Chains A and B, each alone.
Chain A
Amino acid sequence: MPDLLLELFSEEIPARMQAKAADDLRRMVTDKLVAEGLVYEGAKAFATPRRLALTVHGIPARQPDLKTERRGPKMGAPDAAVQGFLKATGLQSLDEAKIQKDPKGDFYIALIEKPGSAAIDVIAEILPVIIRTFPWPKSMRWGERSAKPGSLSWVRPLHSIIATFGIETEEPDVVKFSVDGIEAGQTTYGHRFMAPAAISVRRFEDYEAKLKAAKVVLDLQARKDIILADAKELAFAQGFELVEDQVLLDEVAGLVEWPVALMGSFDQEYLTIPDEVIRATIRNNQKCFVVRDPKTGKLANKFILTANIEATDGGKVIVAGNERVIRARLSDAKFFYETDLKTKLEARLPKFEQIVFHEKLGTQAERIKRIERLAAEIAPLVGADVEKAKRAAHLAKADLVTEVVGEFPELQGLMGKYYALAQREDASVAAASEEHYKPQGPADRVPTDPVSVTVALADKIDTLVGFWAIDEKPTGSKDPYALRRAALGVIRLILENTLRLPILNVAKSAMAGLPAKGDAPKLPADLLAFFADRLKVQLRDQGARHDLVDAVFSLGGQHDLLLVVRRVEALGKFLDTDDGKNLLAGAKRASNILSIEEKKDKRTFDGAPDAGLYKLPEEKALAVAIDQVKQEAAAAVRQEDFATAMSAMAKLRPAVDAFFDKVKVNDDEPSVRENRLKLLNEIRAATRAVADFSKIEG
Chain B
Amino acid sequence: MPGYGQAPLSPPSPPIALTGQGPGTYFAAPQKPKKSAALNPVARFQGPPEPDRPPMAASPAKAPSFQELILRLQTYWAKQGCVILQPYDVEMGAGTFHPATTLRALGGKPWKAAYVQPSRRPKDGRYGENPNRLQHYYQFQVIMKPSPPNLQDLYLKSLAAIGIDSSIHDIRFVEDDWESPTLGAWGLGWECWCDGMEVSQFTYFQQVAGVECAPVAGELTYGLERLAMYVQGVDRVYDLNFNGRDGADKVTYGDVFLQAEQEYSRHNFEHSDSDMLFKQFVMAEEACKKYLDAGWKDGKREAHLMALPAYDQCIKASHVFNLLDARGVISVTERQSYIGRVRELAKACGDAWVHTEAGRAV
Contact = CB atoms under 8 A, between A and B. Distances in A.
Given A156-B188, A263-B38, A316-B53, A332 B13 contact: yes
Chain B binding surface SS class: loop
A142 B216 contact: yes
A321 B53 CA distance: 13
Contact of A308 (B172, B175, B187, B216): B172
A147 B168 contact: no
Interface stretch (A36-44, A199-207, A233-241, A415-423): A233-241
Given A140-B206, A144-B146, A320-B195, A312 B167 contact: yes
A317 B55 contact: yes
Contacts of B197: 321, 324-325
B146 A146 contact: yes
A243 B99 CA distance: 49
A193 B169 CA distance: 10
Contacts of B146: 142-144, 146-147
Interface residues of B, number: 67
Interface string A306-343: 01111111111111111111111101100110010000
Contacts of B36: 265
Contacts of B188: 138-140, 155-156
B42 A261 contact: yes
A320 B152 CA distance: 25
A138 B166 CA distance: 29
B234 to A, nearest CB: 11
Interface stretch (B22-30, B69-77, B120-128, B303-311): B22-30
A248 B314 CA distance: 42
Contacts of A157: 147, 149, 204
Interface in B174-217: 174-175, 177, 187-190, 194-197, 204, 206, 213-216
B53 A144 contact: no
Contacts of B216: 140-143, 146
Contacts of A657: none
B207 to A, nearest CB: 10
Given A159-B149, A311-B47, A262 B39 contact: yes
B31 A145 contact: no
Contact of A193 (B31, B147, B171, B194): B171
Contacts, number: 208
Interface string B73-97: 0000000000000000000000000
A380 B58 CA distance: 67
Contact of A314 (B13, B50, B173): B50
A141 B173 CA distance: 18
A255 B174 contact: yes
Nearest to A263: B38
A332 to B, nearest CB: 6
Contacts of B247: none
Contact of A312 (B33, B47, B174): B47
A579 interface: no
A84 interface: no
Contact of B26 (A12, A144, A314, A329): A329
A11 B53 CA distance: 33
Interface string B140-177: 00000011110010000000000000111111111101
Given A143-B149, A263-B40, A314-B39, 14 more contacts: A12-B174, A140-B206, A141-B206, A146-B214, A193-B171, A234-B38, A234-B40, A262-B41, A310-B45, A314-B47, A319-B37, A319-B55, A321-B195, A339-B11
B31 A318 contact: no
User: What interface size band does chain A fall in?
Assistant: 35 or more
Contact of A311 (B108, B168, B187): B168
B300 interface: no
A302 interface: yes
A-B pairs with lowest CB-CB distance, top 4: A321-B195, A328-B29, A320-B55, A14-B175
B56 interface: yes
A403 B11 contact: yes
A698 B230 CA distance: 74
Contacts of A323: 31, 34, 37
A329 B147 CA distance: 34
A335 B12 contact: yes
A20 to B, nearest CB: 14
B265 interface: no
Given A314-B50, A321-B196, A331 B108 contact: no
Nearest to B230: A321
B7 to A, nearest CB: 14
B41 A310 contact: yes
Given A138-B177, A263-B39, A332-B11, A320 B26 contact: no
Nearest to A335: B11
Contact of B170 (A15, A265, A318): A318
Nearest to A12: B173
A152 to B, nearest CB: 12
15 contacts: A11-B152, A140-B206, A143-B215, A147-B108, A157-B149, A308-B172, A311-B169, A312-B167, A316-B53, A316-B55, A317-B58, A319-B39, A320-B33, A323-B34, A328-B26
Contacts of B171: 193, 308
